[in-house]
Amino acid sequence: MSFRCCATNTLVFEVGMQPGQFYESLAIDKSPLDALRFNPYYLPLDGLRQGRPRVRGETYFDLASNDYLGLASDKRIHEAMTEAIREYGASMCGTPIATGYAPILAELERQLARFTGLEAAVVFPSCYQANVALFGCIATRQDVIFVDHYAHASLGQGIRAAGCKVKPFLHNDLQHLQRQLEAAAGFRQIFVVTESVFSTEGSIAPLGEIVELCGRYNAIPVVDDSHGIGVLGKSGRGILEEKAIANYPGIYTASLGKALGNAGGVIAGNNLLVDALRYACPGLIYSTALPPSCAAGALCALEIIRNEFARLGPTMWDNHRCLLDSLRRRGLDLRSGPAPIAAIHGGSAENTLVLAREFFNHRILATPFVPPSVPDGKGTLRLIIGAKLDDSGMKELMRALDGLSLPGFTPQHPVSPTDGGAPAGKLPEPDALSGAPRTTRRGGTARATYLFIANPSARDGRARKKLDQLRLELGHRRVKFDLALCEGLEHARTLSEEANRSGCDVVVGVGGDGTINRVLNGFFDANGQRLSSARMGAIHVGTSPDFCRSYGVPLDVPAAVEALLAGVTRQIRVGKVVWETSPERPHGSASRTAFFGCCANIGLGASLARLANGGIRKYAGDFVGTFACLLRVLLQYRPQTMTLEMDGRPQKLDKLYNIAVGKTHYIASGIKVRHELQEQDDRLYVMCLRDLSWSRLGHVLWTLYRGKPIASGRCLSMAYAKHIRLDAASARPEVEFDGDPAGWCPCRIETAPDSLDLIVGQPS
């Protein structure tokens, strides 16, 4: 089944068609809906009762609308809209260029520009209209537009209508995009178009990297932030805040009809662009302006988000996690990305509609996506919980979800091999979970699935005792869990990746910094995007505790388990490093990508890590052993000349011993770095150690081991950058991160585009 209009879906045509035949050719085949006796489309909603919609007199849970923050039913917005109607009437009945430009519309445009951090903004009657109108105004036949394969229909419509060359790229695939950009030649202008949040499944675009690529190839980025504005970023300002993109050089569009709880669309960017649209965009200047009441409502929504996102944002995320937990327990096949959107894979259109009907029968409104909105066989049921429901509403929803009858829907994929807890490949049965602790702070009956990935050889095998302690602690608390023993660090990464892909809620690294780093790496793809919405935990049973110290995770096992089950979660930014696997190969021939939670070192750090990991700490302890190794390495290490490039500015540094790049305070066995970075900062610190002499060594060690402020000087210096590149002309310096040597320069380091949800011991 597919809701395609026959007239546009046939290759057979007749000359001289009769009007009757023409209208017949438009017929939509709705027989599958009739057979199901269920049509979720154009469902008449009778209005709200206590913020919830009613259908034929019954009250439903609204998990279908895009009202992420519940602002559509906020009385303050209703009052602002009513006041605007009194002031301006129902509509200005004119186009904005003529008589439709009310002062309140101008104020909304100013506030939207301020909110998004862009120079200027212009408001359209809808974002669909804005997207369709935009490209016809800015692109010509001499241009090329690269567009993400899964971009919204409105972007596709606008791009196709512009008449320029259209080149889709694979969804969120930076390498595919870069290959195409490299090959693009002979065009007047290049545009790269994407969405911030892809609303069918909730994936998020790597916009920071896309903007960087655009800069490299003189392309203009265009992003539709409809599902990001009011949702992403620490204060809800959308994708540009989420990805910490300052001075965005491109075009920004967004809907005012989703998290802003209203109607309308916006295009924002620089003054020249916005002015051009105001005077030359037919989709704007020939269309009746957005009613002043909607402008007033959107203005009020912006004010509420500014003042209350600190409360609304966490509620939205808590509710979302609670919903995901419940859906997973039902064995549904979730394909959700990191945005607060739950996407259930329904397969065929018929199956997806049957799934939607089951939710509907339990008073839950959800959105079924069937072809042509999605490819054949990729039907999806989408649920957006947002911040609409309070604690009692969430409990009621959980009860409704528990009542779903879902035979025949795809079960969860198995998780990794285990030696404890629940049997391998099985999620805990709902009735086996009684007494298990809550991991979400709301919602009553939600439970999480835990996979502990432990390295029994951590701390030279002495971790085994602590693993027994961990099992005991989990048993006391009646936690159902899976425990996978890894056979080496890379195996830990593989297990973590499998757990992420199979829908596990919480993946816990159990070991030292090395094991925890590999578990962290299993959360990301090569671009630095999250594979799932799972959270990560850490239990320290190994030698180096720098990761746990840095993020406030308790170091003793009972306290760490307590913190894990309390579930306080922080979004942390991790580093992404690309390096060479061999010192012999030509530059760029065999690069690898990985992620680090603490710090990467280029230079003597790798030699130090190798020596310290050699066993001395087994006898001397972490601090003394590493300190002894440091003194020995300093004696033997030959400083090098390296090229350090920070945010595109290269500099040659001679007599260089080490460059440390990271985000955390603790970087190695007792060494502490005092820096100015905030948690969501997408910059990294770059600490250089060079031209070292015995007379200066005492001061350097005192500064680093005491965590003193670093006053940049010849010997020890501190700088901050988003993008760091390192190379050396002669010998190839080694690269190390989170305590293990990895490979060789040249290397590139930056913050990964997606944050990691880490369960920590104390609130941020």
| Interaction site with another protein (CB under 8 A) | 11, 147, 149, 151, 156, 166-171, 176, 183, 372, 375-378
Nearer to another protein, 156 or 528 (CB): 156
The sign of the dihedral angle between the CA atoms of 325, 331, 332, 335 is positive
| Nearer to another protein among residue 156 and residue 313 (C-beta) | 156
- Residue 166 CB, shortest distance to another protein, in Å, is 6
Provide, rounded to whole angstroms, the least separation between the CB of residue 10 and another protein. Answer: 10
Cβ-based nearer residue to another protein, 11 or 635? 11
* For another protein, the closer CB: 376 or 556: 376
Rg (the chain; Cα; Å): 28
Cβ 168 to another protein, closest distance in Å? 4
Whether the Cβ atoms of residue 236 and residue 309 lie closer than 8 Å to each other: yes
Instruction: State residue 243 phi and psi, 5-degree precision.
Output: -95, 10
**What pairs with residue 345 in β-bridges?**
380
**Of 12, 34, 41, 37, whose CA–CA distance to 25 is shortest?**
12
Written as one string, the DSSP assignment of 440-464 is SSSSSS----EEEEE-TTGGGGTHH
Helix (H, G, I), strand (E, B) or coil at 412: coil
Least distance (Å) between residue 375 CB and another protein = 4
Nearer CB in complex with another protein: 156/514: 156
Beta carbon nearer to another protein, 289 or 334: 334
CB 656 → another protein: shortest distance, Å?
A: 40
Q: How far is the CB of 336 from another protein (least distance, A)?
A: 17
Cβ 95 vs Cβ 133: under 8 Å = no
CA-nearest of 428, 146, 374, 134 to 273 is 134
Shortest distance in whole angstroms from residue 169 CB to another protein = 7
- Choice between 178 and 469, CB closer to another protein: 178
- In whole angstroms, the minimum distance from the beta carbon of 598 to another protein comes to 33
Decide: 203 and 171 in contact? Cβ < 8 Å. Answer: yes
In 220-291, alpha helices (H):
239-242, 271-280, 282-285
Q: Is the peptide bond before 372 cis (omega within 30 degrees of 0)?
A: yes
Report the sign of the C-alpha dihedral through residues 557, 558, 560, 565, in that order.
positive
Q: Which residues of 634-654 are buried (b: 16+ CB within 10 A; e: fewer)?
A: beeeebbebebbbeeeeeebe
Written as one letter, the residue type at 514 is: G
Residue 488 has a CB neighbour count (10 Å cut-off) of 13
Instruction: Specify the residue, 60 or 150, whose C-beta has the smaller distance to another protein.
Output: 150
CB of 309 to another protein, least distance (A): 34
Q: Name the minimum Å distance from CB 406 to another protein.
A: 24
Residue 378 or 480: the one with the smaller Cβ distance to another protein is 378
Given the complex with another protein, which of 183 and 711 has the nearer CB atom? Answer: 183
Q: Residue length, the chain?
A: 764
CB of 337 to another protein, least distance (A): 14
Cα–Cα distance measured from residue 754 to residue 673, given in angstroms and rounded to the nearest whole number:
24
Residue 219 or 667 having the CB closest to another protein: 219
Residue 166 near residue 159, CB atoms below 8 Å = yes
Burial of 155 per CB tally in 10 Å (0-12, 13-18, 19+): buried
Cα-Cα-Cα-Cα dihedral sign, residues 212, 217, 222, 223: negative
Least distance from C-beta 338 to another protein, angstroms? 18
Taking the alpha carbons at both ends of the chain, their separation in whole angstroms is 49
**Which residue number, 372 or 615, has a Cβ lying nearer to another protein?**
372
